[in-house]
């Protein structure tokens, strides 16, 4: 239901925000109406990466509506949840999940020499719930960020 909003922001318009329904979030950022989820962030870090600059934000507010998300790849729109289920079915029901762990502003990949993000095979089950249960078994507190993601 948000293709029209995406198209408006992908094309040059004098005032894109005048053409869409939005409101100010708790910290003043524009939040589009009827989205799957929104995040407000403050600047946390800027990382020079060759000829690019990577900006890292600290989430200060968020909300999930439970609506389907909208993705765009290779010239077409798709619904991530539907696409993930279709890919899972095509692959024999096997899906995986990955987590990014953060504590006091530092990221924690796993491993000693070859650092990786924690990941688990869902084996046909809900990948986010499988990952959350694996992390909790490791003694980590898991926040319900998974409901924000359209896996």
What 3-state class would DSSP assign to 3? helix
Q: 48 exposed, middle or buried (CB, 10 Å; 0-12, 13-18, 19+)?
A: exposed
* pTM (whole model) above 0.75: no
pLDDT digits (tens, 9 = 90+) for 28-37: 999 999 998 8
Q: What residues in the chain have per-residue pLDDT under 50?
A: 145-151
User: For 114-130, how does the pLDDT look when each residue is reduced to its tens digit (9 = 90+)?
Assistant: 556 656 666 666 666 77
- pLDDT for residue 71: 82
Structural domains in the chain plus CATH codes = 1-78 (2.30.110.10), 84-151 (no CATH)
């Amino acid at each position: 239901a948000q293709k029209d909003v995406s198209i408006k922001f992908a094309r040059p318009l004098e005032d894109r925000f005048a053409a869409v329904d939005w409101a100010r979030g708790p910290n003043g950022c524009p939040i589009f109406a009827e989205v799957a989820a929104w995040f407000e962030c403050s600047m946390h870090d800027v990382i020079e990466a060759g000829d690019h600059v990577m900006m890292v934000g600290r989430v200060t507010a968020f909300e999930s509506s439970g609506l389907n998300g909208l993705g765009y790849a290779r010239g077409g729109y798709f619904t991530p949840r539907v696409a993930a289920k279709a890919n899972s079915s095509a692959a024999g029901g096997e899906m995986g999940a990955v987590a990014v762990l953060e504590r006091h502003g530092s990221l924690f990949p796993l491993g000693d020499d070859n650092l990786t993000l924690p990941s688990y095979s869902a084996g046909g089950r809900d990948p986010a719930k499988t990952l959350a249960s694996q992390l909790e078994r490791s003694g980590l507190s898991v926040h319900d960020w998974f409901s924000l993601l359209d896996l």
